[in-house]
Structure 1
Amino acid sequence: MTPAPPSVPAPTLFRLAGLPYFLIAFVARLPFAMMVVGTLTLAVAARESLSLGGLTPASVGIGTACFGPLLGAAADRYGQRAVLGTLAVANAAALIAFALVVYSPAAEPFVLLSAFAIGATAPQVSPMSRSRLVTIVAERIPAGRRARTTSATMAYESAADETVFVFGPFLVGVLATTIAPWVPLAVAAALIVVFVGAFALHPSAAHVSVQRGADGRAASKASALLRPRLLVVVAGMFGVGLFFGAVLTALTAFMTERGRPEEAGLLYGAMGVGSAILALGVAFLPARFPLPARWLVFAGLLFGASLLLLSVGDVSAMLIALTLMGFGIGPTLVTQFSLGTVFGPVDRSATVMTMLGSALIVGQAIGSVVTGQVSESAGAQSALVLPVLAAGFVLLAGIGDALLALAGRRRAHAAQPGRASQPGRGPNPAGASQPAPQADSVA
């Protein structure tokens, strides 16, 4: 009797992508976390202008917001390898050019223009990584494990972003303080050439979705990017960006009034740590806890915790409020990215992810600028109201998503009249509806 062949283990995302991929992708997103704070630090040090220092990160964010979705669309059309390879060279050059312009006698508009160029050429590593992994999950993971694997993927990606955006500014501070203000941007440029280049050359970068034609064209229309459910997610991501920008700026003002502005980053890190831990925990939530409900629950936790900011009087109370807000913001962010994968066209995944990332960046820039103006004119306590408003906006967007989900279920129910009385069907337990299409069952 011939022995049965050994069973082949079911593929996992980690096995399919490989450990080197996750290591490269993690380090490759670090330069973006460094360049925003790095441009601010260098502008203030070289030009001795706080106003210019505040405008340079905003210019970087505007550049990213304007070109991010276009770069995502190009990656969907031509593959990530060519796009990221070009950006790795262009962005490293833009960082070096910014340092040269800042130290030159050039007028301030040229400084802001060079900062804009940094954002416009920024390699979209986080959105591109999400797009690659989502495509692998959709095409190579068994159907029964796709929803949970997607959730775990978004959880990991969000935790990686949180970790990098806590460590990146810290690294900038260390390099600028111990060596020179221009060194962080030089290090970021080197990391881009090496690790973004490696990210571009990784075999997964050559893969184009099977939903695309032989010429790379998408089967879906561009209008699919305007689906109401997807636009609500973009709005929610914009609200998260508003929250991040408002919290960091208001926290800086709060600590400055207490004569300890250098500790603002450390306190902000407390929110980032809690956010990253809870973001990873989302992967273990049961499938019966649907995405719209997760958004409502965790955005509600975020809003409730943000109300503590209205009464904080010392650093200890601020630390507690930040930690509790982190427990809400991390899972909310994961949920929004997961909804983006559900309601965005599969053949435009890089475009969808860069849309979400750009909304986050725009929100962060606006939140920082507005909160900075309020804190300067009315003080830190008034500025602390703005994170509460931003958290409320995130919650309202979640309510909008839940209402759209409810309307979708009602339409699906109305489109299948009398199914309970069809021959051969038993009663529907507890009045539950029949399984919906995959997007609705996930959401």
Structure 2
Amino acid sequence: MVSAVTNEPSKNSPEIPRPGYGRLLRTPGAWTFLLPGFAARQPFAMLTISIVLLVQHTTGSYGAAGAVAAVTGVSMALFAPYSGRLADRLGQRAVLIPGVLVHTLSVLTLTGLALADAPLWALFAAAVPTGASVPQIGPMVRARWATKVQGTPLMTTAAAFESVTDELTFVVGPLLATALCTAVDPAAGLVAEASLTLVGGVLFAAQKGTQPRVSSRGHARVEHVSALRVPGVRVLIVAFLGIGAVFGGMQVSLTAFAESIGEPGLNGVLYGTFAAGNMISGIACGAIAWKSAPQQRLLVGYAALALTASGLWAAHSVLVLAGLGLLVGMSIAPALINGYTLVDGLVPAGARTEAFTWLTGAVALGQAAAVTVAGQLEDRFWDGAGFLVPMGGTLLALGTVLALRSRLSTPSRARTVARGVGHRTPVAVD
């Protein structure tokens, strides 16, 4: 007999413990992929700044440096989903090992070309495989969490934990890369990035026991669906493009603002305040036992993000801009966390890594576009014009999400056979 599965406790059942970080980190096997995963994802945050610092040093042009970095970012955004799809079909280890080898070789090639004063077209040519082969460690870690805590309240906690980890990565990574490039050698940042990718990626791939299972051909009755064919994933991609617009627009516009007031050193403080807001909000989101649906939390969080981002262009003082930046950062975390949480219900298990990489790639693509547009606005118009990019990107994305919010509802993909709380076995419906 087939019965529906529910994760809600009955009136007579004991109360489910609060799904905090302590309970999440006690998940069996979690630390075996968390520690190598943290080391392997660190290079992701080091790559762009390391390229900019090295290419600017060898060419003397920030424009050339930004162009090479943008090619890397766009390549990563375009190829990441296909890497995720292969990981779902072949297994993470089968994709990760050759991927880290190609990335390491590509980064070292790009470094050598830059030091040899190669023409810009050669740097572009090397930047394409460098970006295309960036290991998608973050999505792979999220897919492992989904396997471990699927169907439990810990899914939101895991998404929050990963959001905080991402923010910590984007605080530590650029600082490490900058210190190496300025104190050791302009090429040291990329060399360290390649080394961490190789060592961390291999160690992460070695944890075979926690990687999601690959669907065997014997289960042919269960259709293998690409994540991009899921309507809700397409809506989330638009939402994450807007989030990328915030990251890219903030990076350029905060730098321009700090230089316009003659205090370039404030750029790090202002962006650090923005990142701190994201971390604080992310920690809080994971510590709260939410009763509302993730769809509702996504809409509320994104509305707050669009509202706060819309005020950035009008800030004319350091304190006001820092305060708004803090609020923008605090609004990003709920949008990111609940977007990733929705993937668990929208996408079949065999396509989750691909789905996560589509979202990560959307952030990278939105960021690359925002950096370009914001830079043009800052050059051609008034100081602070680049802040129009986060406003425009989030308002357009919010409108799309509101109009298509019905597609974020969890579909009934298959009947389920009860196996206990949090466990479901798909049964193909003829």
Fold shared by both chains (TM-score > 0.5): yes
1:175 corresponds to which residue?
Answer: 180
Tell me, yes or no, if structure 1 residue 115 matches structure 2 residue 120: no
Q: What does 1:217-228 correspond to in 2, within 5 Å?
A: 219-222=222-225, 225-228=228-231
Secondary structure in 1 matching 2:213: coil
Aligned-residue CA RMSD (Å): 2.4
CA distance in 2: counterparts of 1:118 and 1:213, whole angstroms:
32
1:129 corresponds to which residue?
Answer: 141
CA distance in 1: counterparts of 2:160 and 2:99, whole angstroms:
27
Tell me, yes or no, if structure 1 residue 160 matches structure 2 residue 165: yes
CA distance in 1: counterparts of 2:323 and 2:227, whole angstroms:
42
Given candidates 29, 33, 40, the residue that maps to 1:21 is 33
CA distance in 1: counterparts of 2:94 and 2:337, whole angstroms:
28
Shift of 1:17: 2.3
Cα deviations across residues 297-333 of structure 1 (Å, max 9, x unaligned)? 1112222222331321121111111001111011111
TM-score (ref. length: structure 1) = 0.83
Q: What does 1:41-60 correspond to in 2, within 5 Å?
A: 41-60=53-72
1:431 corresponds to which residue?
Answer: none
CA distance in 2: counterparts of 1:259 and 1:175, whole angstroms:
26
Partner letter of residue 254 of structure 1?
A: F
CA distance in 2: counterparts of 1:403 and 1:20, whole angstroms:
38
1:253 corresponds to which residue?
Answer: 256
Tell me, yes or no, if structure 1 residue 200 matches structure 2 residue 205: yes
- Change over 3 Å in CA distance of 1:399–1:134 after alignment to 2: same
- Change over 3 Å in CA distance of 1:218–1:230 after alignment to 2: farther
Cα deviations across residues 279-314 of structure 1 (Å, max 9, x unaligned)? 122224444311121112111222222233132112
Partner letter of residue 36 of structure 1?
A: T
Partner letter of residue 346 of structure 1?
A: A
1:371 corresponds to which residue?
Answer: 374
1:430 corresponds to which residue?
Answer: none
Shift of 1:398: 3.3
Tell me, yes or no, if structure 1 residue 400 matches structure 2 residue 403: yes
Contact 1:59 1:119 in 2 (8 A): yes
Contact 2:227 2:352 in 1 (8 A): no
Partner letter of residue 371 of structure 1?
A: A
Contact 2:227 2:351 in 1 (8 A): no
Which blocks of at least 5 consecutive residues in structure 2 are unaligned? 1-16, 413-423, 425-430
CA distance in 1: counterparts of 2:54 and 2:33, whole angstroms:
32
Larger Rg: 1
Partner letter of residue 239 of structure 1?
A: G
Shift of 1:61: 1.0
Shift of 1:88: 1.6
In the alignment of these two chains, the number of paired residues is: 393
1:338 corresponds to which residue?
Answer: 341
Shift of 1:397: 3.5
Secondary structure in 2 matching 1:261: coil
Contact 1:175 1:181 in 2 (8 A): yes
State the identity %: 26
- Change over 3 Å in CA distance of 1:182–1:12 after alignment to 2: closer
1:101 corresponds to which residue?
Answer: 113
Q: Specify which structure has the bigger relative contact order, considering alpha-carbon pairs within 8 angstroms and separated by 6 or more residues.
A: 2
CA distance in 2: counterparts of 1:80 and 1:59, whole angstroms:
26
Given candidates 335, 352, 355, the residue that maps to 1:352 is 355
Shift of 1:249: 1.0
Secondary structure in 2 matching 1:15: coil
CA distance in 2: counterparts of 1:281 and 1:401, whole angstroms:
28
2:427 corresponds to which residue?
Answer: none
Contact 1:148 1:283 in 2 (8 A): no
- Change over 3 Å in CA distance of 1:206–1:217 after alignment to 2: farther
Shift of 1:403: 4.2
CA distance in 2: counterparts of 1:318 and 1:89, whole angstroms:
42
Q: What does 1:250-289 correspond to in 2, within 5 Å?
A: 250-289=253-292
- Change over 3 Å in CA distance of 1:366–1:405 after alignment to 2: closer
Shift of 1:94: 1.3
Which blocks of at least 5 consecutive residues in structure 1 are unaligned? 1-8, 139-145, 412-437, 439-443
CA distance in 2: counterparts of 1:92 and 1:405, whole angstroms:
38
Contact 1:87 1:121 in 2 (8 A): yes
CA distance in 2: counterparts of 1:217 and 1:262, whole angstroms:
58
Partner letter of residue 38 of structure 1?
A: S
| Structure richer in helix, relative to its length | 1
TM-score (ref. length: structure 2) = 0.85
CA distance in 2: counterparts of 1:364 and 1:383, whole angstroms:
13
CA distance in 1: counterparts of 2:275 and 2:220, whole angstroms:
39
CA distance in 2: counterparts of 1:90 and 1:403, whole angstroms:
41
1:415 corresponds to which residue?
Answer: none
